[in-house]
Amino acid sequence: MTSQAAPARRPTLLSIASATPPLSLSQEEIFEGLLKHWYKDIPNAERIIKNTGVRRRHFAWDPRVELREGNRGLGERVRVYERVGLEVTGQSVEKALEGLDRSRVGAFTMTTNSGYSGPGLDLFIAKKLGLRSSIRRTFVGHMGCFAAFPTLRVAMDSLAARPDEYVIANASEYSSLQWRSDPDPEQAVIMGLFGDATCSLVLGTAPDGEGVQFIRSHTEQLYETHELMGWHMMNDGFKMTLSPYVPFVLAEHIDTILERLLGPEKLGKGDIKHWLIHPGGPKILEAIARQLKLDKSAMRASWHVLGEYGNCGCVTALLVLEEAMKTDKPQRGEYGVMMGFGPGLTVESMLVRF
């Protein structure tokens, strides 16, 4: 008699929960209260800020107060990251764990680009929430806006080794803590885009086809374009660089990247119902939509997140996933593609089946 093989199990989303700092400001409030002062010598500064498509953002501190007189030291910024991050990231993780058996959580992987400390926030959050002392922690740092993807892969690798456990994957970004007053148009775009948020996922395993499942991922390094985007540590904080050529480069490579992601599953662009694209800025969304021949509604969740949260760095793709699940309510069996972009240029993509 032949024994029947156990059904294949896949990494499966058990819960997703975001949190934001309580301070929320409209684009007009932050422009009139601070950015207008910083960029008074840039004639079109107000138009630059408005063209980001951001309507409202959340802030870990009030930049209108804390940065009114200019930049702050790196140490001062990190101290706020430690305090606010512990509270807000902790809220996100706690919400994601609601209704789940915490004793089954065996690993915790976290990423941020906004601050560093050791022990990290993940240790203090695990302690506060009563997670077991043998929990395996992995911190993914300083990778940029695509960092949620390697964080998810670390979680998925953990599940491959221990399929009966749960894994927490968190992305947290408190970008306002690294805002700078450098008076140039590139920095005006950056200060008009970035906001603060955190998002936590709890992953487990389930039989193939049961639940929201991460099917495969693909990473593409565009080696010759590394100068187009950067995130550098300075004495008075971190400094981002962001070239206006980024949308064109992404559009040029998007078809090839999708073929490498979808081809092994014998899928094509026409099989994708939900496009969960990191809204790095309006021009990125427009360029990708144009290249893929998608109308604006196909990226509704991405546009919504850009407008209501801004670009929240490594958190943003997860906010788009959460928004799509909450509002678009994908049907069982439908496919989605998540994408994130960051220094490298690095393009991360992941195929999700709802």
**Domains of the chain, with CATH numbers?**
10-207 (3.40.47.10), 212-353 (3.40.47.10)
d(CA 133, CA 135): 5
In terms of Cα–Cα distance, which of 62, 129, 122, 64 is closest to 95?
Answer: 129
What six digits make up the tokens of 109?
């992987």
Q: What is the pLDDT of residue 233?
A: 81
Query: What is the pTM for the complete model shown?
Result: 0.95
What is the b/e burial string over 54-89, where b = at least 16 CB atoms within 10 angstroms of the residue's CB?
bebbbbbbbbbebbeeebbebeebbebbeebbeebb
3-state secondary structure 44-65: CHHHHHHCCCCCEEEECCCHHH
Q: Which residues pair with 339 in a beta bridge?
A: 277, 349
Task: Return per-residue pLDDT of the chain as tens, 354 residues.
Answer: 455 555 689 999 999 999 999 999 999 999 999 999 999 999 899 999 999 999 999 999 999 999 988 889 999 999 999 999 999 999 999 999 999 999 999 999 999 999 988 999 999 999 999 999 999 999 998 899 999 999 999 999 999 999 999 999 999 999 999 999 988 899 999 999 999 999 999 999 999 999 999 999 999 999 999 998 888 888 888 888 888 899 999 999 999 999 999 999 999 999 999 999 999 999 999 999 999 999 989 999 999 999 999 999 999 999 999 999 999 999 999 999 999 999 989 999 999 999
- Residue 177: its pLDDT value, please? 95
Phi, psi of 229 (to 5 degrees): -150, 135
The residue ranges of DSSP E strands in the chain, in sequence order, are: 9-19, 23-26, 56-59, 105-112, 136-141, 166-174, 196-207, 212-221, 229-234, 237-242, 272-277, 335-342, 346-353
Closest CA to 271 of 280, 279, 262: 262
